[in-house]
Amino acid sequence: MAKKASTTKAKPKTKRSLIIVESPAKAKTITKYLGRKYKMMASVGHLRDLPKSRFGVDIEKDFQPEYIVIKGKGKILTSIKKAAKEADQVFLAPDPDREGEAIAWHIAEELKPINPNIHRVLFNEITKKAVKEAVTHPSEINMDLVNAQQARRVLDRIVGYKISPLLWEKVRRGLSAGRVQSVAVLIICEREKEVLAFVPEEYWSIDATLLGKTPPPFVARLIQKGGEPLKIHNAEESEALTAQLQNASYTITKVEKKERKRNPTPPFITSRMQQEAARKLHFTPKKTMMLAQQLYEGIEIAKEGAVGLISYMRTDSVRISPDFQSESLSWIGGKYGQNYVPDTPNLYKSKKSAQEGHEAIRPTGIDREPELLRADLSHDQFLLYQLIWNRYVASQMRPAIFDVTRVDISAEDLTLRVTGSILKFPGFTIVYSEGKDSNPNASQEPSDAESSLPELSVGDSLTLQQLDPKQHFTQPPPRYNEALLIHDLEDKGIGRPSTYAAIISTIQDRKYVEKREGRFYPTDLGDTVNNLLTENFPGVINVEFTAQMEQALDEVEEGGKDWIESIQKFYDPFAKNLEKAQTEMRDVKREEEPTDIICDKCQKNMVIKWGRFGRFLACPGYPECKNTKEFVEKEGEIKIIAKEIETDIVCKKCGKPMVNKTGRFGRFLACSGYPECKHTEPISLGVKCPEKDCGGDLTEKRSKKGKTFYACGNYPDCKFALWDRPVARPCPQCNTPLMVEKYDRNKGTTVRCRIKECGYVEAEQELRQSA
């Protein structure tokens, strides 16, 4: 008997919602909270942008941008389109800022014909509560944010594509200009001019060591003469005052006691985090933002899985959600005691331009103390998380309280002053204190630094024990480091906190500035390009105009200004400058500056020219004479750098001495018999390669970007390489056969194990043993 055909209908496949983020790490963290009802996909950043090979902006049609799919992103977009077609709705969840909104808009533009049911979701932190709340209450794409991003992108394209070819023609190929980066270089060049033009002024200070009725003795500084502030200009004045003080009697004329509060600093915004990470951790802004992104998107935590540890890191708001603040105050009371909890929650005021929809940078869980996560984080992730956590917790605590005593002492018509400060209640300082940049011209008057004084009363006579006159000289303003540059960029309104890392990284990559001992110096190239741009684009490449443009773009973001109108305001003066510059800009590439250096091959006076690697000395008899020399210029004097330094090493091929040369990728040994003998060797550091059965010597090399690294001389057979200088001795803790040198601004050069997980540091170990 034939079987009956089944009449049961197959259940329709339930459609899942599609959530698109820009990062695979973020996708992994969010998946944990939403489960299988949602399909997660990552765009891996922008999917569309202006074309690389052409201008891509139609100036005649209201600066209309031409967007294309970025090379290499076609497969990702195809996969997203396929998933969108099968989904009941699409949630776009890139970061909650201008770039994130632009990424979401570009994706939406591609998906609308396939699935118009598109929503925008925003979360300030990647936690279960925040993610579920965002998906439950989605919003629409904010076109004001999109237009603000478009305006910045178009402006940067106009400057880059119009000025860069001029620099290629007049200086050298491969150079670039940027609307904001060029102004950052300008600021550094202006500071360098101030430093070089600075004339130090001599001044003196006189300290007196005095003893009251009871010990200990204390030090007071001379501050007034005849009731007026005193400045001691030279040794003669100092000697006269010292003689007067030597014979004077000392009497206390004023004792002022007061309680002083030091309030905690607000939780981090982006720029403050970058500054503090530079001061305390010596991280570049680029590194800080990379680590913060990792902490925000999610880190694998034991027993928890992927967890977002901090709130969104691109913010200019110091606001904290009331719920999280209340939770934090309860935790602080339990951890440190109720006397550390303020009577009312600490509230901080953001700048006018801040987006109050965002929060400050804070931990997502107040109970996730840094030490509890140390095993789950890399060393650098831990340091940054600890900095963020400490800063946030401190911001919610009571002020520190000091008892401050200020004592004025008369010595004839002279007045000396001493200030003592005793910590009465530590408050927030038990967790965190903000770093400070050094001030080379700090006040001559003693500070309120913590120091105790004996019991002193008005009318007490004091005994002079010692006078200490000291000569000083005023110092020039400090050259910029990362923290100072970010502070001044923000203060002047140049760029925005989310762009500082890219600005500082770009101007170094372009070789416009270089970093020496933690400070930025303009290079010859940077100084030359800066002069050309400020001479030819004075109305555009300047601090005031750039700050006004940033303000206008902020207004676009807030919906108060049209983005096309803002670009037109920039373009009109720019176009006039550009037309003039094309005919009048100096042709540095063809300029020759005569010198009194004689060519050692043809006896002509050599000239300074511009080349691929900057200025160099060349013979004007080229092409008949091709003699060139590298040089440095110090205080107007030209000093030639020797190209070849003879060594006592013998060439293995012809027996002639080898010479030390510098090439494109660093120093190397070459036969002095060149061109007849072309034998070369890497310069050994005298350290053997640690790889098993290799036997090669480690050598110093330079990467394509000019960064020094250390690699095995047996390359390509052995590919061992290090960024840190190797030290030929084994780690006493883990026995790895090689240690490395690392430089720290506070500790100097330390020797440590090259295996990060070991963590052995020789200097620290010695300190522990001595303790």
Average pLDDT over residues 591-608: 89
- pLDDT tens across 36-62, in order? 889 999 999 999 999 998 999 999 999
Q: Which of 203, 250, 296, 312 is catalytic?
A: 312
Percentage of the chain surpassing pLDDT 90? 65
Instruction: Label residue 707 exposed, middle or buried (CB < 10 Å: 0-12, 13-18, 19+).
Output: exposed
Q: 706 — alpha (psi -120 to 50), left (phi > 0) or beta?
A: left
Q: How confident is the model at residue 489 (pLDDT cuts 50, 70, 90)?
A: very high
Q: How confident is the model at residue 768 (pLDDT cuts 50, 70, 90)?
A: very low
CA distance 456 to 448: 17
If one counts every other C-beta atom within 10 angstroms of the C-beta of residue 559, the result is: 13
b/e string for 10-25 if b means 16 or more Cβ within 10 A?
eeeeeebbbbbbbbeb
Handedness of CA 449, 455, 457, 461 (dihedral sign): negative
Residue 256 has pLDDT above 70, yes or no: yes
Percentage of the chain surpassing pLDDT 70? 92
Higher model confidence: residue 434 or residue 189? 189
SS3 content of the chain, % helix, strand, coil (to 5): 35, 25, 40
Average pLDDT over residues 8-26: 77
Average pLDDT over residues 469-494: 95
Residue from 437, 435, 433, 449 nearest 399 by CA: 433
b/e string for 228-247 if b means 16 or more Cβ within 10 A?
eebebeeeebbeebbeebee
Q: What tokens were used for 100?
A: 């994130």
- pLDDT for 389 equals 97
Helix spans in 357-480 (H): 370-373, 379-395
Average pLDDT over residues 29-39: 89
Strand partners, 657: 650
CA distance 493 to 367: 37
Average pLDDT over residues 216-230: 95
Q: Which of 14-28, 118-132, 427-441 has the lowest mean pLDDT?
A: 427-441
Average pLDDT over residues 457-474: 96
The whole-chain average pLDDT of the chain stands at 88
Residue 253 has pLDDT above 80, yes or no: yes
Q: Which residues touch 768 (CB under 8 Å, ≥6 apart)?
A: none
Residue 746 has pLDDT above 60, yes or no: no
- pLDDT for 601 equals 86
- pLDDT for 174 equals 84
Average pLDDT over residues 102-129: 95
Q: How confident is the model at residue 356 (pLDDT cuts 50, 70, 90)?
A: low
- pLDDT for 70 equals 95
- pLDDT for 665 equals 65
- pLDDT tens across 135-177, in order? 999 999 999 999 999 999 999 999 999 999 999 999 888 888 9
Q: What is the pTM of this model?
A: 0.79
- pLDDT for 770 equals 34
Q: How confident is the model at residue 638 (pLDDT cuts 50, 70, 90)?
A: confident
Residue 707 has pLDDT above 80, yes or no: no
- pLDDT for 744 equals 56
Q: Which of 271-280, 357-366, 454-463, 628-637 has the lowest mean pLDDT?
A: 628-637
Beta strands 17-21 and 90-92: pairing type?
parallel
Active site residue 38: no
CA distance 748 to 742: 8
689 in Cβ contact with 697 (< 8 Å): yes
Q: How confident is the model at residue 447 (pLDDT cuts 50, 70, 90)?
A: very low
Q: Which residues touch 735 (CB under 8 Å, ≥6 apart)?
A: none
- pLDDT for 1 equals 45
Helix (H, G, I), strand (E, B) or coil at 330: helix
Residue 354 has pLDDT above 80, yes or no: no
- pLDDT for 769 equals 38
- pLDDT for 735 equals 78
Residue 424's φ and ψ, nearest 5 degrees, are: -95, -40
CA distance 322 to 344: 12
- pLDDT tens across 553-588, in order? 999 998 999 999 999 999 999 999 999 999 999 998
**């440590």: which residue's tokens?**
752
- pLDDT for 8 equals 52
Residue from 43, 151, 153 nearest 107 by CA: 43
